[in-house]
Structure 1
């Protein structure tokens, strides 16, 4: 896939997530947003807080990656084995549950609606700016360290896809939690 098509798809998906969170999460009460649909399941706010924790790491990494212009316009976006596996793991269509790192797990937290939503919206807007900047960079360059093992690196395009897919996965999970909470 060409970089232009790839980035445009990620932008559309990210804009849709932002629209959905503003439309469906913002009007909800703090109680509904904090209600877990089942014991051991995350509430809608816990889903967003999990994403906030990942974005605190990956957004600065991606900002550094897209800062170096080196666009190769006719080179297809490629994926390494690690990149493919990482993106498959967080794909919203992958319904398998996964264990997260303890520091990324906000389970059983009473979270502040305004704080979590404000940070999430700000980070999602920052991600959209990074996607805009990525049009001028080489998406196949290995520049982004993996959060849990920083010696491993993802290509810039892989890291962007990973982050967008991860956001989509957990926003959908949060929607299911809200549906169970009755908003």
Structure 2
């Protein structure tokens, strides 16, 4: 795919994520933000904190990758087999559950809504800056170590796409948690007057 179109699509996706979180999730009260839809299911804030933990790792890795001079900018973005596999695993349309590493699992802790949201916004704005810089980088260079197995490296373009589809997946999960938090509590059986 053409680099300009690829980066523009990713930029648009990040901006859409930001708008969704600001309009759909930020207005919720702290109780709703922390309410788990089911036992062992993440709340809205747990979904966003999970993304913050990944951003703490991937944003600096991608910043190094786009700052390192490596020849000419990429004209066409290519994907490796590994990159396609990771992206497909995290794609929002993939309904298969994926296990997360313990250090990336925020489940079961009470989170501060303001702090989690503020950090999420900071990471997204940094990601937008990195996408703007990426047009001058070699996006096909294997330069971003995979978080859970650093011996494996994704291409720079793949890493951007992986991070963004991962975020889309968990923002959708957060929206489902919001719906569950706003659902009226189940009441007992309806009694019909005779």
TM-score normalised by the shorter chain: which range applies? over 0.9
Match of 1:12 in 2: 12
Tell me which residue corresponds to 2:187: none
Corresponding position of 1:84: 84
Question: Equivalents in 2 of 1:140, 1:29: separation in Å?
Answer: 43
User: Take 2:121 and 2:96, find their aligned partners in 1: how far apart are those partners?
Assistant: 26
Larger Rg: 2
Partner of 1:179: 179
- CA 1:71/1:15 → structure 2, altered by over 3 Å: closer, same or farther? farther
CA distance in 2, matches of 1:175, 1:143: 33
Partner of 2:102 in structure 1?
102
Structure 2 residue matching 1:110: 3-state secondary structure:
coil
Query: What is aligned with 2:73?
Result: 72
Deviations 1:11-63 (A, max 9, x none): 00000000111111111101000001111110010000000001100000000
Q: In the TM superposition, what are the counterparts of 1:152-171 in structure 2 within 5 Å?
A: 152-171=152-171
Task: Give yes or no for contact 1:71–1:135 (8 Å, CA) kept in 2.
Answer: no
Kept in 1: contact 2:34–2:43 (CA 8 A)? yes
Structure 1 partner of 2:137: 137
RMSD over aligned CA atoms reads 1.1
User: How far 1:71 moved relative to its partner?
Assistant: 3.8
Q: TM-score, normalised by structure 2?
A: 0.91
Number of residue pairs the alignment of both structures matches: 182
Normalised TM-score (structure 1): 0.96
Question: Runs of 5+ in structure 1 lacking a partner?
Answer: none
Q: What is the deviation of 1:73?
A: 4.7
In 2 relative to 1, CA 66–110 (structure 1 residues): closer, same or farther, beyond 3 Å? Answer: same
